[in-house]
Structure 1
Amino acid sequence: MEPRQDPARPPARNAAARALRPRPPGVRLSVGFILAKRFTLCAFANFVDVLRLAADEGDRSRPILCNWTVLSDTMDAVNSSCGISVQPKERLGDPARFDYIVVVGGLMDELPGLSTAYNRFLHQAADAGVPLIGLCTGAFMLHQAGLLDGYRCCVSWFHHADFLEQFDGLTPVTDQIFVVDGDRLTCSGGASSAHLAAYLVDKHVGRAQASKSLHIMIIDDALEPDKPQPGITLDFKTRDPIVLRTLLLMQQNIDSPLSMKEIARRTGNSKRQLERHFRAALDTSPQAAFLSIRLSLAHHLIETTEKSIAQIAVDCGFCDSSHLSRMFQRRFGKPPSALRQTVNPEG
């Protein structure tokens, strides 16, 4: 995928220029990590394991072709969101010794700002042409540091609304597993971190090493950046990328349902194209699929929250509780009030 270059920002250094930086003999890819407080361990571990497995000919974890290290301004251990801590290995120092600097974010509702030292280090890296990577909510932190202005960035569909609320003027990409835009790379976290790391290994070390890493991790072949993100659990199973992107867009607009005309426009398709793809992939129409998504969420909220039926109707894009009740009865054979009574008989 060709990176887009914004005229308002300096040109990204190319791979050949980065390859001229001093590095230990044999090392083709060098990565420094900054871990946010309460970072997500899964995103970090998946990324590192791809580097580890690609770095050695066997499975001995020797950093021959790749090296990686956790950086710190204080050298204090950093706790992940699951409670496991990681001990940094090096002080921040000169960012130009790395090919990439990766910021691993943490929980959305506990998102801390980076320290002054980290912000300064990241700006030094950007000025030196070192590409910056945001894993999971690391994209939020890069934007907080003023390092994503003018760039496209990947955000988990789950945090789409949070991103829009906190960062006016920046358009997140929530229908891809990762985004490469010049010298900024971002991904939604989880398993997509492994695919982003494999993309870098493929680019700098070789395709065979990237495939080897993923296969050992029991992950199918590397996915391209524009592979759609998985969304909330659905009754729909399909690999059609047009249908997947449309379903994700529907999920992100449950409380304010978009017209089919607007959905078609946003996905770059005609209404007729969407209908053909949905019929072929799911044997249903886009309109019926959208209603099913909204009703499934309403069912989930009735079972798992204490929200009123009226509020759930609003949250799921229905005109009022009567509208929700009619559609709910038709789909599930009982009204929302009956389900609520079953779940909470004393309520």
Structure 2
Amino acid sequence: MIGVLIFPDFQLLDASGPISVFEIAGRLAGKPTSIRVLSEMPGAVRSSSGVEMLARGLRSASGLSTLIVAGGEGVISASKSARYLAFVRTAAKRGVRIASVCSGAYVIAEAGLLDGRRATTHWRRTRHFLATYPKVKLESDRIFVRDGDIWTSAGISAGIDLALAMVAEDFGEEVSRQTARQLVVYARRSGGQSQFSSLLELKAPTGRFASLLTWARENLDAPLTVEHLAEKAGMSSRHFTRAFVAETGTTPFKAVERLRLEVARQQVQSSSEAIERVAHSTGFRDPERMRRAFIRAFGQPPQSLRRAARAS
């Protein structure tokens, strides 16, 4: 039986995503999966969106094989609940597979289950999480991390990735792939957290420079100087720089570097292409220049990110 632990102001997709994965996988495998939504108090639990989910009390959780802890706006309060923490600890002692989605990692960490273990959480929570739980070996750029019977995943939609990996363990890779096809998602996403997308991080990326940024991402081996971009936008260099900063929240130089970093990281992590060729094709030209940019942005050189991706 799969248990999904929620609390007031939980993130709806943190719970509904894994629920849908296990529901579809069980049907495809011919082994319908029993799924229970659990909360400290039985009844309707309001999510951060205002939509409510009906939950059972913690006492109805006997027979659990897996416990998935949702995240969301109310996670800090939930992580201070003695009943939640005791419930999670007891489940772990009984050999239940424990998992978290997004900031649900706070509950598991507060219960002491992540001390000395590898884990991940939503990238916006990284600094606070590290400061709060220094004993956790946080891997901030991972979609999900498994350390023994403890699984943690990154922001929101990554709960689907985690659940698909669990399905592969429970029912086999083929059922996991079929489930992913049914959901129209990747069976296994490559690279790190999708929330790091440079186009998404830029303020107002759908404004008048949207097409320019898309073009730049597709032509990273071009010079992409301010003069080059300004000419492409049909503006003077000075006016272009002022307008670009006002709309995107960053300079043209930094925006281009972020785009190059995003594509270079994807190539480093998901291909065996030589680092020198990646540097050239993404416009860094010099591998040393790309290495310094990686360390500034990700805290690791390209080779370390590649080794970590292959190990996972």
1:333 paired residue number? none
Determine which of 193, 199, 213 is the counterpart of 1:229: 193
Q: How far did residue 156 of structure 1 move?
A: 2.3
Taking structure 1 as reference, are residues 292 and 50 closer, same or farther at Cα in structure 2, changes over 3 Å only?
closer
- What CA distance in whole angstroms lies between the structure 2 residues aligned with 1:45 and 1:93? 22
Q: How far did residue 243 of structure 1 move?
A: 4.4
Q: How far did residue 111 of structure 1 move?
A: 4.9
Which amino acid in 2 is paired with 1:106? G
1:42 paired residue number? 13
TM-score relative to the length of structure 1: 0.58
Residue by residue over 1:284-303, the C-alpha shift from the partner in whole angstroms, topping out at 9 and shown as x without a partner, is 45647977999xxxxxxxxx
1:238 paired residue number? 263
Q: How far did residue 166 of structure 1 move?
A: 1.9
1:70 paired residue number? 37
Q: Does 1:79 align with 2:46?
A: yes
How many residue pairs get aligned? The number is 232
Q: Does 1:55 align with 2:26?
A: yes
Determine which of 91, 94, 104 is the counterpart of 1:138: 104
Taking structure 1 as reference, are residues 220 and 168 closer, same or farther at Cα in structure 2, changes over 3 Å only?
closer
Alignment of 1:128-277 (within 5 A): 128-223=94-189, 227-230=191-194, 231-233=196-198, 234-236=258-260, 238=263, 240-241=265-266, 243=268, 276-277=277-278
Q: How far did residue 94 of structure 1 move?
A: 6.8
Alignment of 1:329-340 (within 5 A): none
2:73 paired residue number? 107
Aligned residues: CA RMSD: 3.2
Q: How far did residue 229 of structure 1 move?
A: 1.4
Which amino acid in 2 is paired with 1:125? A
- What CA distance in whole angstroms lies between the structure 2 residues aligned with 1:109 and 1:200? 23
Which amino acid in 2 is paired with 1:177? I
Moved more, 93-102 or 120-129: 93-102
Q: Does 1:31 align with 2:2?
A: yes
Q: How far did residue 278 of structure 1 move?
A: 2.5
SS at match of 2:187: coil
Taking structure 1 as reference, are residues 183 and 74 closer, same or farther at Cα in structure 2, changes over 3 Å only?
same
Provide the identity percentage: 24
Taking structure 1 as reference, are residues 108 and 232 closer, same or farther at Cα in structure 2, changes over 3 Å only?
farther
Q: Any stretches of 5+ residues in structure 2 without a counterpart?
A: 199-257, 297-312
Asked whether the equivalents of residues 178 and 192 of structure 1 are also in contact (C-alpha less than 8 Å), the reply is: yes
Residue by residue over 1:5-52, the C-alpha shift from the partner in whole angstroms, topping out at 9 and shown as x without a partner, is xxxxxxxxxxxxxxxxxxxxxxxxx21011132111122222111111
Which amino acid in 1 is paired with 2:83? A
Asked whether the equivalents of residues 21 and 160 of structure 2 are also in contact (C-alpha less than 8 Å), the reply is: yes
Q: How far did residue 191 of structure 1 move?
A: 2.3
TM-score relative to the length of structure 2: 0.64
- What CA distance in whole angstroms lies between the structure 2 residues aligned with 1:188 and 1:148? 15
1:9 paired residue number? none
Which amino acid in 1 is paired with 2:259? D
- What CA distance in whole angstroms lies between the structure 1 residues aligned with 2:47 and 2:176? 26
Q: Any stretches of 5+ residues in structure 1 without a counterpart?
A: 1-29, 246-272, 295-347
- What CA distance in whole angstroms lies between the structure 2 residues aligned with 1:108 and 1:71? 15
Which amino acid in 2 is paired with 1:136? C
Asked whether the equivalents of residues 2 and 67 of structure 2 are also in contact (C-alpha less than 8 Å), the reply is: yes
Q: How far did residue 179 of structure 1 move?
A: 0.3
Whose helix proportion is higher, 1 or 2? 2
Taking structure 1 as reference, are residues 129 and 288 closer, same or farther at Cα in structure 2, changes over 3 Å only?
closer
Q: How far did residue 108 of structure 1 move?
A: 7.7
- What CA distance in whole angstroms lies between the structure 2 residues aligned with 1:243 and 1:293? 14
- What CA distance in whole angstroms lies between the structure 1 residues aligned with 2:50 and 2:275? 45
Asked whether the equivalents of residues 56 and 64 of structure 1 are also in contact (C-alpha less than 8 Å), the reply is: yes
